[in-house]
Amino acid sequence: MRNTKTPAVLISEVGPRDGLQSVDAVMATADKFKWITALHAAGLREIEVGSFVPAKLLPQMAGTADVVRHALTLPGLTVMALVPNLRGAQAALAAGVHKLTIPVSASAAHSLANVRKTREEMVAEVRNIVALRNEIAPSVKIEANMSTAFGCTIQGEVKEDDVVWLATQVIAAGADESGLSDTTGMANPAQVRRLFNKVRAAIGDKTGAAHMHNTRGLGLANCLAAYDVGVRTFDASLGGLGGCPYAPGASGNVVTEDLVFMFEAMGVPTGIDIGKLIAARAPLIAGLPGEPVYGMTPEAGLPKGFVPARSTEAADV
């Protein structure tokens, strides 16, 4: 295996959805094309390109169908979109996405605030979306990731049993995978290890991505903790753009640049060229003038003598 660069982890870029929907400015659709093209050129192979929600609720997501059509021209890219309900799924499948992501809140209070549905109603919605997918686009994958899995800014603690229960429910409803999202930046590494282990015990290899925020600076430590217990898909946002507008006090996603640097430095291949990844900040900045972007690695530069991961062999750390 030496000298191959088969990725050992999948970095799923969520900036064009999670990032853009959290800022007030609206990126023009043509600028989204340029940004997504640059992300793909850096080696990203899964991008959440937008969400299918009413444009009057989220004007930032107005051009998502066009963005999907552009992204579908990029070879080897899994084009993912967020859909909160059946109507969104219909539009996403019509646009031709490869993968749907449905947010399901582990916190009862957050579920009502975010999608105005109970958790049980969201499980039913997952079931309806699965039925639609089975009927008209059986090759499309569906993930149902759990928001507020590690705590909620509205209700505080979220019981681990609730998370495991909901993961089991959405998989029983036909979702292909279910990951855990730290929507509110409340997770800690011990909790990340414990909860991913519990969820894996319940749903096995249908356990999905770790979606971590850096609200209290623990984003990368939490990703490391998830990696340690076998998670291999990580959501991140270029420049740390993003957060959840319905979770007051929550701040940005894990920074893609820093996450990729961490894994590559550890000898875990990501398939991503860090230089090109940093270059992909230019179309983001050009498309959102004046919006702050973050990232320690882009500011510091790569270390002298830095060697990216060379093989999957080194991934046993």
Minimum CB–partner distance for residue 297 and a second copy (Å): 5
- Of positions 35, 52, 196, 261, contacts a second copy by CB under 8 A: 261
Q: Binders of a second copy among 298-317, rule CB under 8 A?
A: 300-301, 303-305, 317
Stretch of residues binding a second copy (CB under 8 A), selected from 78-86, 110-118, 147-155, 202-210: 147-155
The helix/strand/coil state of 114 is helix
Q: Binders of a second copy among 40-69, rule CB under 8 A?
A: none
- Of positions 27, 123, 255, 288, contacts a second copy by CB under 8 A: 255
Q: Is 216 in the site for a second copy (CB under 8 A)?
A: yes
Q: Is 148 in the site for a second copy (CB under 8 A)?
A: no
Residue 189, classified by CB atoms within 10 Å of its CB into exposed (0-12), middle (13-18) or buried (19+), is: middle
Looking at the Cβ atoms of 60 and 111, the one nearer to a second copy is 111
Minimum CB–partner distance for residue 178 and a second copy (Å): 23
Looking at the Cβ atoms of 33 and 234, the one nearer to a second copy is 234
- Of positions 188, 198, 273, 285, contacts a second copy by CB under 8 A: 188
Residue 261 and residue 279 in contact, taking contact as beta carbons nearer than 8 Å: no
- Of positions 151, 179, 239, 269, contacts a second copy by CB under 8 A: 151
Q: Is 214 in the site for a second copy (CB under 8 A)?
A: yes
Q: Is 215 in the site for a second copy (CB under 8 A)?
A: yes
Cα separation, 316 vs 88, whole angstroms? 40
Cα separation, 234 vs 223, whole angstroms? 7
Is the dihedral angle over the CA atoms 289, 291, 295, 296 positive or is it negative?
positive
Cα separation, 202 vs 189, whole angstroms? 20
Give Rg (Cα) of the chain. Answer: 18
Question: What values do phi and psi take at 254, rounded to 5?
Answer: -55, 140
Q: Measure the CA angle with vertex 226, ends 112 and 293; round to 5°.
A: 70
Q: Measure the CA angle with vertex 49, ends 288 and 236; round to 5°.
A: 80
Q: Is 296 in the site for a second copy (CB under 8 A)?
A: yes
Q: Is 269 in the site for a second copy (CB under 8 A)?
A: no
Integer distance in angstroms from the first to the last C-alpha of the chain? Answer: 16
Other Cβ atoms within 10 Å of 241 Cβ, number: 25
Q: Is 251 in the site for a second copy (CB under 8 A)?
A: yes
- Of positions 95, 163, 220, 272, contacts a second copy by CB under 8 A: 220
Cβ neighbours of residue 269 closer than 8 Å, sequence gap 6 or more = 5, 6, 7, 8, 9, 263, 308, 309, 310, 311, 312, 315
Count of residues that interact with a second copy, criterion CB under 8 A: 46
301: left (phi over 0), alpha (psi -120 to 50) or beta: left
- How many residues does the structure list for the chain? 317
Looking at the Cβ atoms of 83 and 163, the one nearer to a second copy is 163
Q: Is 225 in the site for a second copy (CB under 8 A)?
A: yes
Active site residues: 244
Stretch of residues binding a second copy (CB under 8 A), selected from 8-16, 22-30, 89-97, 260-268: 260-268
Minimum CB–partner distance for residue 38 and a second copy (Å): 21
Residues lying near a second copy in the complex (CB under 8 A) are found at: 151-157, 184-186, 188-191, 193-194, 214-218, 220-221, 223-225, 228, 249, 251, 255, 258, 261-262, 265-268, 295-297, 300-301, 303-305, 317
